[in-house]
């Protein structure tokens, strides 16, 4: 049986209320993130159906690894979230696995991929810097000129961006994005627009660690999604690497879905319909998140909706 999950909402200084469009009852007007599929200590989803209803995903991962094909990892490997950036996120960077393991108590590093669900006209993301070395960038920070060399990209709905660990980045205002990432919550901020928390304190910057992990003078991978038609439905292969594989499905009608791995993360980002697993029917709609487990052998999607499916 699929594991349907109760979303977790994180209030952020830069968050808004646009996630209400996913049918969520938001706990405040400044929700920046909906963690849809997570077993991370900073937010692990509660299972809402079946034998494991009321248990958290991390507990089921630890005690019932057979549901995940006995996947050889201590921690659940991926995290999927929806981001509402009413204001720009801090300009920050994530470490890779080796740095995180050494400096962050054995945690995963963080490479991630963004699918732009919605974007106001002219909205931008930051993906890297033209500074050629740590020394040059550090000097720019001290002089307050680093923003002049940020690589900015104007985005539109339907676009995908891969953000490897070590890439300086930010999501700008007016953007709603679906993110799949390694299960990590480590960010090293270098700039936060001098914003203050509700206590009046500025949010912590992590400049030295950021400089330790930043990649300079390197081009990002040129990710070109590949599209194909399967059973009359459009399937877009977004990215596949050592960290994750991400596929978008646009379904209209019936799709007999062949699970590519023992377990898959599934989020509905538009529309509604049904999932029929081994003869059992589940209603799904925009904002639904669930895991197809190794026991879910016969899976059929029916309706008109868009899914993003992720797996290792």
- Kindly list the catalytic residues: 189
DSSP string, 67-109: GGTT-S-SS--EEEEEEEESSPPPEEE---HHHHHHHTTT---
Sign of the alpha-carbon torsion through 22, 28, 30, 36? negative
Buried/exposed code over 68-94 (b: 16+ C-beta within 10 A; e: otherwise): beeeeeebbbbbbbbbbbbbbbbbbbb
Between CA 38 and CA 107 the distance in angstroms is 15
Between CA 12 and CA 27 the distance in angstroms is 12
Asked if residue 104 lies in contact with residue 98, where contact means CB atoms within 8 angstroms, the answer is no
């Amino acid at each position: 049986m699929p594991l349907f999950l109760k979303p977790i909402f994180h209030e952020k200084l830069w968050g808004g209320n646009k996630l209400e469009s996913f049918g969520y009852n938001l706990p405040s007007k400044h929700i920046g993130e909906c963690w849809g599929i997570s077993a991370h200590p900073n937010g692990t989803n509660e299972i809402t159906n079946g034998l494991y209803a009321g248990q958290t995903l991390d507990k089921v991962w630890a005690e019932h690894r057979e549901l995940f094909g006995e996947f050889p990892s201590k921690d659940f490997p991926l995290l999927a979230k929806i981001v509402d950036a009413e204001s720009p996120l801090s300009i920050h960077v994530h470490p890779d696995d080796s740095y995180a393991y050494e400096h962050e108590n054995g945690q995963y590093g963080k490479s991630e991929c963004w699918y732009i669900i919605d974007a106001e006209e002219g909205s931008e993301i930051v993906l890297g810097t033209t500074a050629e070395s740590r020394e040059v960038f550090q000097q720019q920070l001290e002089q307050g000129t680093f923003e002049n060399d940020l690589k900015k990209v104007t985005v539109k709905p339907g676009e995908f961006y891969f953000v490897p660990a070590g890439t300086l980045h930010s999501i700008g205002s007016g953007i709603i994005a679906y993110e799949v990432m390694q299960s990590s919550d480590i960010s090293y901020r270098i700039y936060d627009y001098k914003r203050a928390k509700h206590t009046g304190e500025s949010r912590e910057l992590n400049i030295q660690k950021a400089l330790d992990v930043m990649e300079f003078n390197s081009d990002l991978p040129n990710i070109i999604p590949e599209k194909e038609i399967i059973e009359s439905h459009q399937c877009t292969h977004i990215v596949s690497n050592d960290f994750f594989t991400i596929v978008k499905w646009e379904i209209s009608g019936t799709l007999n879905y062949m699970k590519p791995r023992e377990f898959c993360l599934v989020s509905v980002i538009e529309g509604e319909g049904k999932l029929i697993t081994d003869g059992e029917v589940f209603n799904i709609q925009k904002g639904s998140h669930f895991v197809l487990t190794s026991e879910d052998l016969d899976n059929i999607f029916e309706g008109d909706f868009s899914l993003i499916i992720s797996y290792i």
